[in-house]
Structure 1
């Protein structure tokens, strides 16, 4: 079977070897793998795909570059493919994307920028986690039963400077930090003691409000 220009659609016997008088196309390993898989599925070769896709490649399509996240390889092309390397890469990327809409090619320059951004965010996350760990309270021995420990754990000045809403708001701020599954400073023991402290402070607020002692002891504002 042939396509226009007399190019056979049968795949060459040695797809990883540059054919005589042909050339090697430098491209990303991921793109090359996808192109070979598509060519095999279509019972053709990368050169035939390139010729067909060059007629369809959209204007303004991005060149995926000579390498990608999986590295760089050389894809063999037959001599009938005379377009520039950039045009062929864009055509092959478009052909793969048409066959598999979920397939995405990221230009090498963008990959570098993304990797740098990820590295920066990772460093910042480690720095933040380290700072939180240094500032966070150390787990006490056993359960939290003393009011002074609960007050200190929640960062209040004394037992008369907060109400129930402030206790619950502070708990909502601290819980995501220590949650054992998703917390930045994940700690099951700290989380359990945080719950103990919240319950103790809420009971304290309700007791002093109910007894009328709150207004007697509350510092002048």
Structure 2
């Protein structure tokens, strides 16, 4: 697997509650997260050495943690499940490899294991870490695709609103018929106060200057039209 991979995926690592707590405590002491612990070991330690290391294994029978469900029909109810760690790492690792790397991190911290690391391995790890840092910086500098798509959609909606909305009157709104036009009623319409207020709420949400499609000029004329129509039905 290339260590310069820029995409990360979520890993669910089943483990004993004792192992999970030891990993989280070590991460907290070092000021990092559990994924950082695993990644640092996998960058420095040769892959073969990790493969040959002892796997702490799945949680033993009866070892369970209780969580509260946050969604679905059983939302709010407690649920007992196998203990686990949730990590985000580059794709391509097996659950067992990640779990072994975490065990090595714990053992390194406790001084329970010594290992000779060749200079070439350290240099390779430094290069990999530098490449990942550069890739992260590049991703942060570039707007995500979703944001670009949202901006394009926003611009399309602005154009639609401009095409469908009333054209502001040059001399403002002064007559009953002009008020009907601005509020979007037919020239022959005689709306009651309830219909006028409902129409105003919809149009004000669109044309208010604080909205994404707002227009100060349209909002001003909308307010004027509202006053004229309200007086007419009063």
TM bin (shorter chain): 0.3 to 0.5
TM norm structure 1: 0.46
TM norm structure 2: 0.43
